[in-house]
Amino acid sequence: MTRISILGSTGSIGRSTLSVAESYPERFQIVALAAGANLETAFEQARRWRPQMLSIASESDADILRARLKQAGISGIEVVHGTRGTVSVATHPQSDFVVSAIVGVAGLEATYEAVRAGKTVGIANKECLVAAGELITAEARRQGKPLLPIDSEHNAVHQCLRGGRMEEVERVWLTASGGPFLNTPRSEFKNITVEQALNHPTWKMGKRITIDSATLMNKGFEVIEACRLFHVAPSKVQVLVHPQSTIHSMVEFVDGSILAQFSVTDMRLPILYALTYPERIQSDMRFDVGNLRHLDFQQPDMNKFPCLRLAYEAAEAGGTKTVVLNAADEVAVAAFLEGAIRFNEIPGIIEEALAASNSGMLRSIAEVLEADGAARRYAQKRIREKSKKSAEPRATSVG
C-alpha cells in the first residue's frame, strides 16, 4: 500500500491523482491533502477520502472547514492552514509518497521539506524546479530518494532513460504542442484574448500552465526542469514542436538510437507511472496505434515566442536568473488574466526583470524566496507603470 500526501489536491493534477487512487483502492491510501482557496472541493475531498490531515491556504477558511466537518459529523481530520499547513501535509509521518502539484512558488517550501523528510516525491510543480531545482535535486540525492517527474514530457524522458545510461545520452528532445497560437501571425498577438489563450488544443490544465503553454514559456520551464532532473546541459535539451502531442518526448543516445514514449494524452498515466515506479501496472488507458496516420514535427520559432529564448538564456545562467524568470512570468501571466496587460507584453515584462536582476548562485530556499520576492515586486512595478502609461491620453501631434 502506498500512502500518499497531495499538495494541490483541488487542482487539475491533484484531482487526476485522486482519480488514479480511486481506480486502485487496494494499492493507494490518501493520508493528507493540501488545497489553496477552493473550500467547497476541499470539503468534498475530505468527506470522500477522510484524510488524516487537510490544509487550506487561509486561517479563516480553516475555521470554516473545521465547523463544516463537525456539522457533517466527520471527525479525525486535523485541519491546518498556510505554508506551515502545506509543509505539515508534505512531511506527514504516515505518508511515504508526496505528489507536488501546487501551482507556482507557493508549493516550494512544502516540496523541499518533503524531499528533506525522505519522502519519494512525484513532481508536477515545475516552477519549484525552475526556481530551486538545484537545491531540490541535491537534497533528493542526499536522501537517496527518487524525484519522479509527473510532467508528461519529463515522465516520457524518465521512461526513455531506462533504455540506456546517462553517459550514453546525446540529446533530450522535448516535444511541444505549439499551443493555440502556433499558426497565428505574430502581428495578431496583441489582440489575443484571455479566452483564446486559455483554449489549449490538446491538454486541459490549470490557468497558469495554459497561458504558459500559449507563450511557450511552459516549454522553456520544461527545458530547465529537464536540465535539473536529468543533470544535462541546456544545449543538450532541444524542443521540437509536435502539434499532435502523441510523442511525449524522446531521448537520443550516442549510437544514434532514439527512444520515444507515446500514449494517450491523459495525465493519469504519468501519475500512475510515478506512483507505481519502478513497477508498471495494468491500466485501461490505451492508445490506438492502428489509427495513427501521421506525426508532424517542426522547429520552434523563438522570434515569435521569445519566452522560449529567455528560458534558454536563464537556463545557461542558472541561479538567480531562473528564479526571476519564473517570478516575473507568474506576475505577468496574472496581469494578463486580469486584463492589465496584453498577451504580447508578457515576454517584455520578463525580459526587463531578467535584465534588472543580478546573477549568482542561491544557497538556500530562503535566498530563493528572497530573489523571488524582489523579482515579483519589480515586475509588478513595471506593469503598474505600463498600465498608467496606456491609461494616459495619447499625445496628439500639432501640425
Alpha helices in 165-305 (DSSP H): 194-197, 207-215, 217-230, 268-276
Q: Give the range of 29-37, 165-173, 304-312, 335-343 binding ligand NAP by CB under 6 A.
A: 29-37
Tell which residue, 237, 238, 224, 233, has the closest CA to residue 324.
Answer: 224
Decide: is 311 part of the binding site for ligand NAP (CB under 6 A): no
Decide: is 121 part of the binding site for ligand NAP (CB under 6 A): no
Amino acid at 366: A
Residue window 72-101: x/- pattern of binding to ligand NAP, with contact defined by CB under 6 A: --------------x--------------x
Q: Provide the pairing of β-strand 78-81 with 237-241.
A: unpaired
Rounded to a whole number of angstroms, the minimum distance from the CB of residue 123 to ligand NAP is 9
Decide: is 205 part of the binding site for ligand NAP (CB under 6 A): yes
Decide: is 331 part of the binding site for ligand NAP (CB under 6 A): no
Nearer to ligand NAP, 14 or 178 (CB): 14
d(CA 110, CA 98): 10
Return the residue of 2, 19, 38, 283 that touches ligand NAP, per CB under 6 A. Answer: 38
Rounded to a whole number of angstroms, the minimum distance from the CB of residue 133 to ligand NAP is 13
Beta carbons within 8 Å of 35's beta carbon, 6+ residues apart = 8, 9, 10, 14, 41, 42, 45, 54, 55, 56, 57
Rounded to a whole number of angstroms, the minimum distance from the CB of residue 67 to ligand NAP is 18
Nearest position to ligand NAP, beta carbon: 11
Decide: is 249 part of the binding site for ligand NAP (CB under 6 A): no
Tell which residue, 340, 376, 338, has the closest CA to residue 357.
Answer: 376
Q: Which residue's entry shows cell 527518487?
A: 146
Residues 261-290 that bind ligand NAP (CB under 6 A): 267
Q: Give the range of 12-20, 234-242, 287-295, 340-348 binding ligand NAP by CB under 6 A.
A: 12-20
The burial class, CB within 10 Å (0-12 / 13-18 / 19+), for 366 is: exposed
Nearer to ligand NAP, 14 or 51 (CB): 14
Instruction: Specify which residues 121 forms β-bridges with.
Output: 98, 147
Decide: is 11 part of the binding site for ligand NAP (CB under 6 A): yes
Decide: is 124 part of the binding site for ligand NAP (CB under 6 A): yes
Rounded to a whole number of angstroms, the minimum distance from the CB of residue 62 to ligand NAP is 12
Count of alpha carbons within 13 angstroms of residue 305, beta-carbon side: 27
Return the residue of 32, 121, 172, 209 that touches ligand NAP, per CB under 6 A. Answer: 209
Decide: is 57 part of the binding site for ligand NAP (CB under 6 A): yes
Beta carbons within 8 Å of 86's beta carbon, 6+ residues apart = 7, 34, 55, 102, 106, 107, 109, 110
Nearer to ligand NAP, 267 or 382 (CB): 267
d(CA 273, CA 285): 12
Decide: is 53 part of the binding site for ligand NAP (CB under 6 A): no
Considering only CA atoms, give the Rg of the chain.
Answer: 21
Tell which residue, 128, 52, 65, has the closest CA to residue 92.
Answer: 52
Rounded to a whole number of angstroms, the minimum distance from the CB of residue 149 to ligand NAP is 9
Decide: is 158 part of the binding site for ligand NAP (CB under 6 A): no
Residue 107 backbone phi and psi in degrees, to 5: -95, 5
What is the binding site for ligand NAP (CB under 6 A)? Answer: 8-14, 34-38, 57, 86, 101-103, 106, 124-127, 151, 203, 205-206, 209, 267
